[in-house]
Each structure stands twice: as C-alpha cells, then as structure tokens.
Amino acid sequence: MAATRMVVIGGDAAGMTAASQARRRKGPDELSIVAFERGRYTSYSACGIPYWTGGEVDGPDALVARTPAEHRERGIDLRLGTEAVEIDLDRRRVRTRAVGDGTYEWTGFDHLVVATGAVPRRPAAEDVPGIDTDGVYGVQTLDDGEAVLDGLGRDGVRRAVVVGAGYIGVEMAEAMLRRGLDVTVVDRADQPMGTLDPDMGALVREAMEGMGIAVEFGAAVREIRAGDDGRVRAVVTDRAEHPADIVILGLGVAPDTRLAREAGLPLGEHGGLLTDFSQRVRGHDGIWAGGDCAEVFNLVSGDTEHVPLGTHANKHGLVIGTNIGGGYATFPGVVGTAVSKVCELEIGRTGLTESRATAAGLRYATATIESTGRAGYYPGAALMTVKMIAELGSGRLLGVQIVGREGAGKRVDVAAVALTAGMTVERMTSLDLGYAPPFSPVWDPVLVAARKTAGKLRE
C-alpha cells in the first residue's frame, strides 16, 4: 500500500513545523512529505531581520532555526527554488514551477498544507510614482534583509526614510539609527503604532523624537524621486520633501492567498484563509492552512482577524502536523498580544483597543496610570504608562497597552493570561505576582491599572 502524501506550500514557520511534526508521528513508509519553497531559506526568523540589519545580531545563518539539509535528513523532500502556481482541488494536485529553468510539474496530494505566508504592502506605481526606484526596499524575507544591507553598503548612504510607523517601521527606524544614519519616519496616520490607541501612540511619537528620529505624521507619500544615477534621492509627502539615500517600506503585510483564492478556498474579511480550530480549511477535508496566510479567532472580540506573527505560525504548524500524523490538536485562538521596541522604548499590547472594542459593540471604561518597573528607590527605576480597558457591567478585561522603558514590554504577558482566562479587572487586583524591589514596586503597574479600572467601573 502506497504511503499517504503530504504536500506543503511554503518552507517557513507554519509549513515546516507541520512537516516536522507529522514526520515525528509517522515514518516515510506511512507518510511521504514534499515541501515546496520558492526562496533559498527555510524555518527562519523574519522577526529578527531588523536586528540583523541594525547590526545587533549576526545573519542570515543565525536567523535560521533549521536548514534545508536538516529537514531532508529527517525524511522531508524539500524542494527549494520551486514556486507553487496552481492548486487543483478536484484532482488533488499542485502545479509548481522551477524558478531556475521555468519547468512545470504536477504533484498529487492526500493532505495539502497551505503556508504561503504574507506579502509586504507596497503602493502601486500609479499611486506613488517612483515606488520601484533603486534604493527602495521592503522587509519580509532574509533575501530582503540582504538587499537592505547591500544598499546600506553603498557609498554616500547617510539619510534613511522609513515609510510606515507600525511594528516593522519603528524597528527598522531603530536599525537605521544604529547604523548611524539620519532617520525620518513618515506615516499617513496621526500617530505611530496603529495597533495602539492614539493617546498611547503619542507617547511612542514623543519618545522617537527624543531619540533624534524626525517624524511626519498625518501625511501620505505622493512620490519617490530619483537622482541622475537612478537611485532614490527623496520622498515627497503631502507637506514636505525628505532627502533620502535609502527608503524602507514598513507598511505592514497582507495574507498571500492568491493561489487559495484562485482555487476557490474560503477567505475571510481580512483576506486570509478561514480554518476550523484544527487548522483544517473550512469545508475542505485534507486541506490545511496556517501562519500568516490564515485568519485567527480573537477570543476577546469573537471575530476573526489577521495577525501575522511567528508565534502563531509555529503553533499552527504543530497543530496541523499532529492532526495529519494521526493525533488530535486544536488552536483555540488569540488575544492579540504583541511586543516591540524602538531603541530603549518598549511597547506592549494585548486584547482590544478602544476602537476595536467600539467596533465589536462593547461598552467599556478605561484607566491610564504611570508607574515604575522597579521600586522607586531602586537604581534604574524607569517610568511606564499602562492603559487598561474593561467591559461595563461584567468587569471583564478587554485590553491592555503598555509603553515604557526597561521591563515594560513583557509585562503585557500578565494581561494576556488574564484575557485568555476571561478574568475581570477586580479579580486581577488580587493576582499573586512576584515582588522584589529590583523587579517591581509592591503594587505591580498592571495591578495598579486594574485597581484604577475597577474603580472606574464602580463610578
């Protein structure tokens, strides 16, 4: 009897975790595994690219968790430089094209894992003339990181403009600053970090300006101008022209679901594949999806959303591989937790913002407090701001945002656990958190915020 065949499209976190987990559960005689990856790398940390380009960590090899050779040693037929171009659901097969010589081939499957990831958002040339000018870079893959480093290595690169002030934008602004460049960040939003409420985003903006980063918010990019040598020389917005020797696009990403859409697989409101809790694509037995190409269920709002994070991608892959390998696993959903930093400023958020809570039809109260990450008398105590949102009536925690210095960002994990458990802010005030002066005040900042929010609910 022929072995069942598992085909994986995409060689990064979700796809190769699924392949590896399925292989742990079933040997080659029971399950053959073929994985297609159009690039040169597998199982790498895209989240590490800003720190590599900023010179803080080595790369690209240091960012690779498992090499193609290691996957092959484990009995996975991994084919690099091979792009999937068509999914035939009726005949249960995938058509691929070799990047090198352009040859096409069909491969049949019993199980198909769609792990095509996400693609950087990039304006069309008709909307932003000059967007394809030499010296303008997106940041999504290790190849992109190498391209940025090549650009930084050219003579005369002194001024960087970062377009977009989300997670990638602020992280790449730090990377350019660490490289000694003059840095300008532009964004059409009024404040950086659109995943925060505007009042918390304003704190990030103030800190960025204090670091020497020039900022222009509330202005759209209209044109990217090139010099006589064909390389970028300026970014033109609604209000100003910013000289630039290198331009980094940090406009976020969108699910890469062209293949899935053309095959007729179900997509959600945000363009990602829709799955059940086992990561099986809804309505399609033997078709699985995970990572940045899929939407996830938000445990707080009850809606699906697109959250492109490696943490979720790896969990999705583990669930998929377990199920294909004959076990049973589920991914229940997320609460929307993320952390980032720009130089010494740490930024954490989880759950809903005010705008998201309003869109979900929830009534809520908010409280914002300032505290320190250590006892005030202990050396190095630094301020942080914590904003908390809770539901009127039930008192259920809805979201937390934290902006501050050392020790601020990861404090959001306490709130993430509370959200997952469905705790009220009143219940949070008695959480038994660790205390010692080097680590926290007697009342941890998260508990101070919970206490104040609980008081708001009683007003």
- Return averaged pLDDT per consecutive 10 residues of the chain, 459 residues in all: 91 97 97 96 94 93 94 97 98 97 97 96 94 95 94 95 96 96 97 96 96 96 96 96 97 96 98 98 98 98 95 97 98 97 96 97 97 94 97 98 95 98 97 96 97 95
Q: Give the pLDDT of residue 431.
A: 97
Whole-angstrom Cα distance, residue 297 to residue 368? 28
Q: Are strands 304-305 and 104-108 parallel, antiparallel or unpaired?
A: unpaired
Q: How big is the chain by its Cα radius of gyration, in Å?
A: 23
What pLDDT, on a 0 to 100 scale, did the predictor assign at position 255?
97
3-state class (DSSP) for residue 69: helix
- Residues with a catalytic annotation lie at 47
pLDDT value at residue 1? 60
Three-class SS of residue 251? Answer: coil
396 close to 344: Cβ distance less than 8 angstroms: no
Q: For residues 211 and 347, what is the distance between their CA atoms, to the nearest angstrom? A: 15
- Predicted local distance difference test score (pLDDT) of residue 39: 92
In this structure, how many other beta carbons lie within 10 angstroms of the beta carbon of residue 331?
21
SS3 of residue 268 by DSSP: coil
E-strand spans in 82-146? 82-88, 93-98, 104-108, 111-114, 118-120, 136-138
How confident is the model at residue 2, as a pLDDT?
A: 77
Question: HSE-up of 413 (CA within 13 Å, CB side)?
Answer: 7
What whole-number distance in Å separates Cα of residue 226 and Cα of residue 244?
A: 9
Helices 310-324 and 13-25 pack at an angle, to 10 degrees, of 30
**Phi (first) and psi of residue 304, to 5 degrees:** -95, 155
Q: At what angle do helices 167-178 and 198-210 cross, to 10 degrees?
A: 10
pTM of the model: 0.94
pLDDT at 459: 84
Domains present along the chain, CATH in parentheses = 4-119+254-324 (3.50.50.60), 136-251 (3.50.50.60), 345-458 (3.30.390.30)
pLDDT in tens, 91-121: 999 999 999 899 999 999 999 999 999 998 9
Residues 214 and 187: beta-carbon distance below 8 Å: no
By the 8 A CB rule, do 324 and 22 touch?
Answer: yes
CA dihedral for 430, 436, 441, 444, sign (positive or negative): negative
